[in-house]
Structure 1
Amino acid sequence: MNLWRKSTLALALCSAFLMGCSDDDDEWQNSIPETDKDPTTTHIDGYIFRPGLAPATEQNMRNLRVPAGFAVNKFAENLGMPRILAVTPEGYVYYSDRQAGTVTLLQDTNGDGMSDRKQVVANIKQAHGLAVRQGKLYIVAVKELYVTNIDMATGSLSTPQMLINDLPDGGQHPNRTMAFGPDGMLYLSVGSTCNSCPEPNPENATMLKVDLSSMSRQVFAKGLRNTIGFGWHPQTNVFWGMDHGIDWLGDDEQKEELNRIEQGKHYGWPYIFGEGKYNPGDRPEGDTTYAQYLAKTTLPTLTYQAHAAPMAIVFYTGSMFPAEYQNNAFVAMRGSWNRREPVGYKVVRLRFQDGQPTQFEDFLTGFLINSNSSHFGRLVGLAVNRDGSLLVSDDTNGVIYRVARQ
């Protein structure tokens, strides 16, 4: 980005937060008062940098890195824009393509680690989230939830039947995701309509709990900006989710959050973020102070590099990977656009010890090339295939990768 564009963006950010920028950063005084009786002053430098898109050639794939003993191959390619993945015990792999409005079936019929079957099995406008349960595939778009029956002999689907048609509007975050919890209830993530703002619809920026037997739903947890990736630890059944941080707070803010999601809890968005920090762009409404809002906020268990954009999360319970991977999680980091140097563009392992998350570490990297000026994959979906390999979708080059033991 050229200097003029950087300066213009920084000036715009200063104006957006009702402040003036000094040429001397040392003279700048940061102040976020508890009420609006005093001025808010914060200096934030903002950048836009989107690496160029390169093809997923065999040469570029040689840049990919995984731990010793693992290997990466293309499970399938030329797929359009694959997003969320779901796998049945029979080995049917489904992926959604939101832009095309399709759900497609893939299958590796000869066990060579590559799909040799591809079939569009559903057409639903803006189809995104997928969940498999008891011989059925559930599909969620922006406002609608559908269910289909899976033909166990072929993997084909019955005509989708609409279950819900009044989920909130999408706005900035229309990508609904869902999963069934240990209690048999369907949990459905509804992101915020904006980067940072009060939401008029109480179901936005929440995790919903849906009882499919009565078709009733409730807000399970709120203050979650966009928790696309979530799941339950296989041993403890504790509910964990990765929430996207607020943009335009600087290169290193807001960090992505790993939250222990519990019923009735509030996770701070849009006023509180990270380890209890105040968002200068939005003040709590009415007479509520930041401190009062903080007091009712549940803070994250762990954080990750800001703007990495966590997408799917999957707990590993397969038999292919070494025992140390059991009950750990993988997280797809889609990659940044709102910072000077790109981050993300990888899959990370989230280690657990005694049921508690301890640290993130790189697992699948190398999608950034040419000194980080280009990429050949922004990752979205994750799934553990029937053979225990890890499947990873990229919706920029239309590839699903497979990570397996050598």
Structure 2
Amino acid sequence: MKLTLLLLTAVSVALAGPEKPAKFRSAVTRKAAVVSRNTTPPETGGIKLVNGFQASVFAENLGKARHIVVDPAGTVFVKLEKLNEGKGIVELNDTNGDGKADQTMMFGNYTGTGMALYKDYLYASSDTSVYRYKLTNGKVMETTPAEPIIVGLTLQRQHASKSITISPDGKLFVNFGAPSNACQEKDRQKGSMGMDPCPILEEYGGIWQFDANKLNQHKADGKRYATGIRNAVSLDWNTANNTLYALQHGRDMLNSWGGAFTDEASAELPSEEFLMVKEGNDFGWPYCYNNQIKNQKFLAPEYGGDGTKVDRCAGKEKPIMAFPGHWAPNDLLFYTGSAFPARYKNGAFVCFHGSWNRAPLKQGGYFVAFIPFGKDGRPSGKYEVFAENFAGVPEQGTPGTSVNAGKLDLDSPGDAKARPVGLAQGPDGSLYISDSVKGNVWKVTYTAKK
């Protein structure tokens, strides 16, 4: 009997593997990844794609992932919303070429969202800072220090994430989300009027430009590049026309004003806006909101709007495309590779994180969309559902189209098995997608003949 128990104990220990250290003893730790085998078919990775594409799980259970980037050497970097064993950035490598990460390194003692690559550096943001790390053969070494690029930003309780992108000439663009819903005197309080002028716009509610090559910059060292943007978690620089693009999270709670702002209207409005951003642009927040059904910006109810008044919104910049409300566009990627069919070249992928406040309508927006672009830097067609079923419940639409997309039988975001949040392009032209629930990373490739 004792011999049997000893044998069972030995087998249990062997299966469990070595105990994880209580904490890291150095700035970074490199370890072989223990990859649990996914039970979903390898050709889909559990998600549903447009015909001709397949997905595999590149990494699993990293933690609450946010944005990702892939170095030209193929190293995948993932930013975390919450620390995993005290670290906030995960470095992944597939050393044997089987399509799965088999080497993991973790570093950075801060959480956050933003990730970018510029020259030979990895850039990563917290909610109050931006850092960079020198890359050596596409990797961050154990002794590599975090160099401060922007420091001393004030932590806000709403829309604090500092998403970033960098232009080829070294301009660093940073989202400064507004710590407010609609710049009311009493935030999110029924009947509270909007402050006019809105003082928040002096420091927030827009995109600021900094120098990606300069250390220890403060907010005053940057300049406001564009304003009237409530919160743009999605930023990317389009090299096809050398222009900045962003997607705005529209405001909430239109229904608190009654009248034309019914619960149903507030579930669909205002738009999530796709913006072509030029220096000096004003997109209207908090005074205005966009109605994608009427293709018009209207005066917000906090400033006297009734659903029909345009007023001061007549001169505000309009989106190049508008989506239904509350889908939470959380990343944007202009595809520059050649591995996908030609129609995808220079088109945009948008990662929708999913809604939380679309009642009484169905939840929606847990998918990755593709938008074809023309030579004028604007969409040349409707958005299409490219990848879905992240939540474990299929969108009520057809992949490859926008018909009835963005509606699913999900009671709350907490019921979603996964929520897509980050996008990156691999050196081989593949597409990587990260998940904020468990921290899975999918690699999407094209397998049909072009």
Name the TM tier (shorter chain): 0.7 to 0.9
TM-score (norm 2): 0.72
Structure 1 partner of 2:248: 243
**1:247-306 Cα distance to aligned partner (Å, 9 max, x none):** 12211101100111011111111110112112113559xxxxx75631441121210121
1:258 aligns with 2:274: yes
The offset of 1:83, in angstroms, is 0.8
- 1:113 partner amino acid: G
- Taking the TM superposition and a 5 Å limit, the aligned residue runs for 1:389-400 are 389-400=430-441
In structure 1, the partner of 2:97 is 111
Q: CA deviation at 1:363?
A: 0.1
Aligned partners of 1:334 and 1:379 also within 8 Å: yes
* 1:231 partnered with 2:229: no
Give the superposition deviation at 1:203: 2.4
**Aligned in 2, Cα 1:351/1:151: closer, same or farther, shift over 3 Å?**
same
In structure 2, the CA distance between the partners of 1:375 and 1:153, relative to structure 1 (3 Å rule), is closer
The answer to whether the 8 Å contact 1:271/1:283 transfers is: no
Task: Indicate whether 1:58 and 2:40 are aligned.
Answer: yes
Distance 1:345 1:291, change over 3 A: closer
CA distance in 2, matches of 1:280, 1:121: 46
Q: 1:105 Cα shift?
A: 0.2
Preserved CA contact (<8 Å) 1:168 1:204: no
| 1:357 and 2:379 aligned | yes
C-alpha distance 368-131 of structure 1, shift in aligned 2 (>3 A): closer
For the residue of structure 2 that corresponds to 1:91, the secondary structure is coil
Any residues of structure 2 matched to 1:2-401 within 5 Å, and which? Answer: 58=40, 64-100=47-83, 102-124=88-110, 126-152=111-137, 154-156=139-141, 158-197=144-183, 198-200=198-200, 202-213=202-213, 215=217, 216-249=221-254, 250-274=266-290, 275-282=296-303, 293-339=312-358, 340-354=361-375, 355-358=377-380, 359-369=382-392, 372-373=409-410, 374-401=415-442
Aligned to 1:40: none
Deviation at 1:380, TM superposition (A): 0.8
Q: Is the 8 A contact 2:65 2:438 kept in 1?
A: no
Q: How large is the RMSD of aligned CA atoms in angstroms?
A: 2.2
Q: Tell me how far 1:232 sits from its aligned partner.
A: 2.6
Q: Quickly say closer, same or farther: Cα 1:62–1:281, change in 2 above 3 A.
A: same
Structure (1 or 2) with the larger CA radius of gyration:
2
| 1:319 shift after superposition | 2.5
Distance 1:62 1:154, change over 3 A: closer
SS in 1 for 2:357: coil
CA distance in structure 1 between the partners assigned to 2:332 and 2:324 by the alignment: 16
Q: Which amino acid aligns with 2:435?
A: D
The higher relative CO (CA closer than 8 Å, separation ≥ 6) is in 1
CA distance in 2, matches of 1:237, 1:68: 31
Q: TM-score, normalised by structure 1?
A: 0.80
- Secondary structure of 1:251's aligned partner: helix
DSSP 3-state at the match of 2:169: coil
Q: Distance in 2 between matches of 1:115 and 1:304?
A: 34
What code does the residue aligned with 1:248 have? M
CA deviation after TM superposition for structure 1 residue 103, in Å:
0.8
Aligned-partner residue type, residue 40 of structure 2: E
Aligned residues: 345
Choose 389-398 or 209-218, whichever is displaced more. Answer: 209-218
Match of 1:85, SS state, is strand
Cα 1:57–1:132, aligned 2, differ >3 Å: closer, same or farther? same
Unaligned runs of 5+ in 2: 1-37, 184-197, 255-265, 291-295, 394-407
Q: CA distance change for structure 1 residues 62 and 91 in 2, over 3 Å: closer, same or farther?
A: closer
Distance 1:251 1:91, change over 3 A: same
Runs of 4+ in 1 over 6 A off after TM superposition: 59-62
Determine what percentage of the aligned residue pairs are the same residue.
30
Is the contact between residue 425 and residue 432 of structure 2 (CA under 8 Å) also seen in structure 1? yes
**Secondary structure in structure 2 of the residue aligned to 1:281:** helix
